[in-house]
Structure 1
Amino acid sequence: MLCSMSRKGDCWDNAVVESFFETLKRELVDGCVYRSREEAKQAIFEYVEVYYNRKRRHSSLGYLTPLEAECQATAA
């Protein structure tokens, strides 16, 4: 998997996306060998939709899961 690159000299254009791809590669893809493109797509979908968006603690949310952060925001 290769990260996208912005214009020459503009390394911050895609900082959020580049950070996500680095996390995805480190936590899921590195060291895995997928037998098919479909198997890779399914693994990435499950990582993003089931784990990353619902269960993984995010430093940008004060190390809460997205669900915990949403509950705190609606309770306040």
Structure 2
Amino acid sequence: MARISASNAENLVKSFKTELVYGIKLKSKEEMRVFIFEYIEVWYKRQRRLSALENRAIKEFWNLYMKNEELIKSIA
């Protein structure tokens, strides 16, 4: 499992509370589990900028990669 710093964990929790929890009434633990999973897997991981990807979000990096691949194929 990847290690995260305390500040990264705090930022995740702050974002999670601000964007998901406040204002939503959940009826069960299962509903909360689904909300947490969707937030982390669907939104947070796709929007977060990663230094390994030149400070781009995964979707941005992938789109740039695909454009470069198309350019290379069109040249060859």
Q: CA deviation at 1:69?
A: 3.2
Q: What is residue 66 of structure 1 aligned with on the other side?
A: 58
Aligned length in residues: 60
* Percentage identity across paired residues of the two chains: 33
Q: What is residue 28 of structure 1 aligned with on the other side?
A: 20
| TM-score normalised by the chain length of structure 1 | 0.60
Q: What is residue 10 of structure 1 aligned with on the other side?
A: none
Retained in 1: the 8 A contact 2:48–2:58? yes
Alignment of 1:3-14 (within 5 A): 14=6
1:44 aligns with 2:32: no
Q: CA deviation at 1:65?
A: 2.2
Q: CA deviation at 1:41?
A: 0.5
Select the structure that is richer in helix: 2
In structure 1, runs of 5+ residues without a counterpart are 1-12
| TM-score normalised by the chain length of structure 2 | 0.60
Q: What is residue 7 of structure 1 aligned with on the other side?
A: none
**Which structure has the greater CA radius of gyration?**
2
Aligned CA RMSD, in angstroms, stands at 2.7
Deviations 1:5-64 (A, max 9, x none): xxxxxxxx611100110001101111111100100110110111111112x2549764x4
